[in-house]
Amino acid sequence: MSEYKILAINPGSTSTKVAVFKGEEKLFSENVAHAAEDLAKFKEVSDQLEFRFNMIKDMLKEQNIDLSDLDAVVGRGGGLMASEGGVYGINDVLFDHAVRGANGVQHPAQLGPQIAKSFADEYGCPAFVVNPPDTDELIPEARMTGIKGVLRHVHTHALNQKETAIVHSKKMGVKYEDMNYVVCHIGGGTSITAHQHGKMIDGNDIVGGDGPMTPTRSGSVPVAELVDYIFANNLDKKAAKALATKTGGFVNLLGTSDALEVFNKAEAGDKFAKLVWDAMVYQCIKQVGAMAAAMHGKVDAILMGGGMVHNKDLVAKITEACSFIAPVYAYPGEFEMEAMANGAARVLDGEEELKTYTGELNYNVNEFIGE
C-alpha cells in the first residue's frame, strides 16, 4: 500500500475522533471532547458543523500537525440512504443527505462527511466515506417480513465488521471477496452478520433493537409480549423506542450500561447478574448460528470484534459453542479509524473502485408489497 497521508474523522455524541495516517502508520490520534452544554446550544446535529470543525482545526494546529500534503480526508458517513458497502466520494447528493439526515436517523455521524469535505476543500484533496452505517446488502429473503409494508432493514457496525474481515483475510493470504464469514461486533451495540463473498447478506438491525440484548438495547423480543408491555405501562412512542435502543438490556435489567460491572457481579456470585450475562452470550451464539445457516453452513471463519471481545469469558463461551461451524478468531476492539484510512488508500491505489452515491435505495420497495 502506498504511503498516502490521510485524515480520518469520526464524530460521536460527545467527542470527535481524529487520526492522521501515513501509509499504515498512525502519525497522530486524538479524541476531541465536546462539552454537553456547548452541544446543547445546537438544535440539529448538522448545526454543530462549524463548531466541531473549528475545534478540530485548532487542536491540529496546537499539535503542529501539518496537513498541507494531505492526499485524502475520510469522514464517518451518517444520515445516508441504504447503499451497498464500499468507498464513496462525497458528492453534492451525499453531502446534502448527510446534512439533512435523509435516512430519518439523527446521529453525530452525519457530521463526518461534512467535516471531511470542509477539510478537503481547504487542502485541495478528495473526500470519502467508507462503508457507512447504512450499508445494506441484504438478500430479498432477509428483508421480507410477515406484515405488509414492514420491511427488515439493517444497521450494523459495517465499517468495523468489514475491516475485521479484510484484516483477517490478508492475514490468511486470501481475498475477502472470496470468503464466507460470520462477523460479530460485540460492544455497546452488537451486530452479527453473514458476509458472503464480500457482501453482508443478512444481519440484525441495531438501530431497531434487533438481535442479541446489549448494555442499552432490548434485543429481539416476542412482538405480542412487547405490545402488551407497552400498553400495560402506558409507554408513548418515544419511550417505547428508547426501551428498544437506549434504556433496554443491562440498563433495564440491572440499572447499568457497564458490561464489565455486570460481568464482575456475575463472577462475584450475583445469580441474576450471571443470568443476564449468560443470556446475552447465549443470544450472540444463537445469532452466529442463524447467520451460518443463512450461508448454508458454508463458513470459512467466525470473526469477533468490538469492545466486549476483550472479555475472555465471552470469547471462550462463543468459541466453545460455535467452533463446530468454523474456526473462531478474536480481534478485540475497533479498527474504525484504520478502516476509513485503508479504504481511502485502496481507492487512491486503484485496488478498489470508487463508488458514486446516488441517494436512491438499493432495493425496490414495491417488490415487497406485491405491486
Q: Write the CATH number of the domain with boundaries 143-334.
A: 3.30.420.40
pLDDT in tens, 323-348: 999 999 999 998 899 999 999 999 99
pLDDT in tens, 195-227: 999 999 999 998 888 999 999 999 999 999 999
pLDDT in tens, 58-101: 999 999 999 999 999 999 999 999 999 999 999 999 999 999 99
| Element (DSSP H or E) covering residue 113 | helix 111-123
Cα 153 to Cα 40, 129, 150, 207, 247, distances in angstroms: 30, 20, 9, 9, 21
Cα 104 to Cα 3, 156, 207, 275, 311, distances in angstroms: 38, 16, 11, 36, 34
Over its C-alpha atoms, the chain yields an Rg (Å, rounded) of: 21
The DSSP symbol for 322 reads H
> What pLDDT is attached to residue 312?
96
> What pLDDT is attached to residue 104?
85
Instruction: Give me the mean pLDDT over the 353-371 stretch.
Output: 90
pLDDT at 370 over 70: yes
pLDDT in tens, 127-165: 999 999 889 999 999 999 999 999 998 888 999 999 999
pLDDT at 1 over 70: no
E-state strands within 187-300: 190-196, 199-203
Instruction: Give me the mean pLDDT over the 156-179 stretch.
Output: 95
Q: Give domain limits for the chain.
A: 5-135+337-368, 143-334
Q: Do 5-135+337-368 and 143-334 fold alike per CATH?
A: yes
50 and 64 Cβ atoms separated by less than 8 Å: no
Which one, of 60, 126, 99, lies nearest residue 343 by Cα?
Answer: 126
The C-alpha cell 459495517 sits at 158
**What is the distance of C-alpha 4 from the center of its chain?**
25
Measure the CA–CA gap between 220 and 315, rounded to whole angstroms. 22
**What is the distance of C-alpha 313 from the center of its chain?**
23
pLDDT in tens, 111-132: 999 999 999 999 999 999 999 9
The C-alpha cell 432493514 sits at 153
Give residue 2's pLDDT band: very low, low, confident or very high (50, 70, 90): confident
Which one, of 222, 218, 86, 82, lies nearest residue 152 by Cα?
Answer: 82
Residue 181's Cβ-side half-sphere holds a number of Cα atoms within 13 Å equal to: 31
pLDDT in tens, 234-272: 999 999 999 998 899 999 999 999 999 999 999 999 999
Q: Which of 3.40.50.300, 3.40.50.1970, 3.30.420.40, 3.30.930.10 would CATH assign to domain 5-135+337-368?
A: 3.30.420.40
Q: Hey, is 244 helix, strand or coil? A: helix
